[in-house]
A = this chain, B = another copy of it.
Amino acid sequence: MTGLKDVAQYTGLSMSTVSRALHNKTYVKEATRKKVLEAVKALNYSPNVMAQSLKIGRSSTIALMIPSIQNMIFPDIARGVEDTARKYGFMVILTNTDEHIAIEKDYISRLKTRLIDGFIIASMMPHSTHIMKLRNEQFPLVLTLRSYNRKIDAVVIDNKKAAYNAVAYLIERGHKKIAVALGDTAVPLYADRFQGYKDALHDYGMSFDAALVIGENQDVHSFYTLTKTMLNKGDIPDAIFAASDARAIVIMRAVYDAGYRVPDDISIIGFDNVDIATLVEPPLTTVAQPLYEIGVRAAERLIYQIQYKEKHGVLEKPEIQVADTSLVVRKSTR
């Protein structure tokens, strides 16, 4: 592996001059710079990033901490993050934690010491004190999808409003009995969607019926059974609002298999607008969440904070960005 020293030797210059020529910070004679550049090419030199980072105190690497890249919403976010990271010359380390605190803590402790310059975290929970701590130590950090307390930078959506609008749409289109399929309501994001659902019901003078609540379970496939159970008990809604597209699609299959049609008998609305929402039959009406853009904005904010901290020694005060959602109507609702 050829190093800076080799280039110095080759050109007959000192290492410091070569280094300067490469970073054109301070003035270097045009001729020597050219000479250096040629040598670099001739020797196929590339800098040792570790040594560089050690010296300058940052690595131009960030970490993306998510529950699992296998969850359909994260590939888009990851791509948004990686694209913008690359644009700014950063690398991204991917970590899947399944939201296990132990794994998160382990990753954090291994990463925060100079291996990375900042975190993007999608698994904030109310009790995630290890994450709060990170921010308190002034470690650059932005949350996505879930925010906390306005004390940490985040880019999120208004889950309550988005859910409210979806349910309101259903009601205005004449649906009278609307079920909801949720994730674990200990997660604020699901609690918010649940609240939006209940608020819409309330505002339109409809009563809440606990028998129409499906789930709170984490495994997407379990919604198949849960839906069938509800249907078999005779609780037949005329619409189902699902808290994710994956759930909506599973539910759609359960509905078919129980002998009902979508949307003729039962309308279904999903949430997320992942790629496959357009591909299923019928194409899914869903609440669109700008996942790629969320990734982009999170990465941009993080990099901004990294640079801000470099200049001022501390982070800028947190900022919560709310990305827009919209209802995209396709064929799974009538």
Q: How far is the CB of A3 from chain B (nearest CB, A)?
A: 9
Q: How far is the CB of A255 from chain B (nearest CB, A)?
A: 10
Docked-complex contact B79 and A70, CB < 8 angstroms: yes
A51-B54, A256-B281, A276-B276 as given contacts; A91 in contact with B76, CB under 8 Å = no
Residue A309 is within 8 A (CB to CB) of chain B in the complex:
no
Contacts of A75 in B (CB 8 A): 69-70, 74-75
Residue A48 is within 8 A (CB to CB) of chain B in the complex:
yes
| Per-residue interface assignment for chain A, residues 89 to 108, with 1 indicating a CB less than 8 Å from any chain B CB and 0 otherwise | 00111111000000100000
Docked-complex contact B114 and A50, CB < 8 angstroms: yes
Chain B residue at minimum C-beta to C-beta distance from A89: B110
Docked-complex contact A109 and B46, CB < 8 angstroms: yes
How many monomers of this protein are in the complex? 2
Q: How far is the CB of A49 from chain B (nearest CB, A)?
A: 4
Interface segment, one of A12-20, A175-183, A233-241, A244-252 = A244-252
Chain B residue at minimum C-beta to C-beta distance from A77: B69
Residue A126 is within 8 A (CB to CB) of chain B in the complex:
no
Docked-complex contact A281 and B281, CB < 8 angstroms: yes
Contacts of A334 in B (CB 8 A): none
Residue A1 is within 8 A (CB to CB) of chain B in the complex:
yes
Please count how many residues in chain A sit with their CB below 8 Å of the partner chain's CB atoms. Answer: 52
Q: How far is the CB of A111 from chain B (nearest CB, A)?
A: 7
Residue A298 is within 8 A (CB to CB) of chain B in the complex:
no
Residue A115 is within 8 A (CB to CB) of chain B in the complex:
yes
Contacts of A241-295 to chain B: CB distance below 8 A: 246, 249-250, 252-253, 256, 275-276, 278-281, 283
A78-B69, A93-B92 as given contacts; A113 in contact with B281, CB under 8 Å = no
Sample of 22 A–B contacts (CB below 8 Å): A1-B113, A46-B109, A49-B114, A49-B115, A50-B50, A50-B59, A50-B114, A50-B115, A51-B54, A64-B94, A69-B75, A69-B79, A70-B75, A70-B79, A70-B275, A74-B75, A91-B110, A91-B111, A221-B278, A250-B279, A252-B281, A253-B279
Cβ-closest 10 pairs across A and B: A94-B94, A49-B115, A50-B54, A249-B279, A69-B75, A50-B114, A46-B113, A70-B75, A48-B114, A50-B53
Query: What 18 new A-B contacts, CB under 8 Å, besides A46-B110, A46-B113, A221-B278?
Result: A48-B54, A48-B113, A49-B115, A51-B114, A69-B75, A70-B76, A82-B95, A82-B96, A83-B96, A86-B95, A91-B95, A91-B115, A246-B279, A250-B279, A253-B281, A256-B281, A280-B280, A280-B281
